[in-house]
Amino acid sequence: MNIQTVVQRLLRPAETAYAHCDIPCGIYDPGTAQLAAESVEKMMTLMADGDASDINSQARYIAIKELNAEAVKHEVRIIWGDFMKPPDLATTPDLHDVVWEIMRLGSACRQGTNVDDAKALRAKVDEFAGIFAKVKATR
Amino acid sequence: MLLALVVVRWFRRAFVAVEVAGESMTPALLPGEYLLLRRARLPEGETVFGRIVATRDRSGRLLLKRVIGLPGESLRVGAEVQVNGRVLIEPYANGESAVARYRGVQRLGAGEHFLLGDHRDASTDSRDFGAVHHSRIEGVAVYRYWPLGRGGRLRRPRRRFAAAE
The full set of domains in chain B, from first to last, is: 2-154 (2.10.109.10)
% of chain A exceeding 70 in pLDDT: 95
Nearest alpha carbon to residue B29 among B70, B57, B66, B60: B66
Nearest alpha carbon to residue A76 among A24, A21, A120, A37: A37
Residues in chain A within 8 Å Cβ distance of B129: none
Per residue in B36-70, pLDDT (tens digit) is 999 987 777 778 999 999 999 877 889 999 999 99
Reported pTM: 0.62
Best of B12, B20, B129, B142 to substitute, by most chain A Cβ atoms within 10 angstroms, is: B20
Residues in chain A within 8 Å Cβ distance of B34: 11-13
Nearest alpha carbon to residue A71 among A49, A38, A96, A94: A38
Q: Is the pLDDT of residue A30 over 70?
A: yes
Which among B16, B24, B145 is the nearest to A19, CB-wise?
B24
CA distance B121 to B59: 22
Q: How confident is the model over B138-149, as a mean pLDDT? A: 94
Question: Is A21 close to B117, i.e. CB distance below 8 A?
Answer: yes
End-to-end CA distance of chain A: 32
Residue-by-residue DSSP string for A29-88: -THHHHHHHHHHHHHHHHHHHS-TT-HHHHHHHHHHHHHHHHHHHHHHHHIIIII--GGG
Identify the closest residue of chain B to A20 by CA–CA distance. B22
Per residue in B93-133, pLDDT (tens digit) is 987 665 445 556 678 999 999 999 998 878 888 887 889 99
Mean pLDDT score across all residues of chain A: 89
Q: Which residues of A touch B (CB under 8 A)?
A: 8, 11-23, 25, 67, 71, 74, 77-78, 82
| Distance set, CA A115 to CA A58, A120, B151 (Å) | 15, 9, 56
The full set of domains in chain A, from first to last, is: 28-138 (1.20.120.400)
Task: Give phi and psi for B81, each to the nearest 5.
Answer: -110, 130
Q: Is the pLDDT of residue B88 over 70?
A: yes
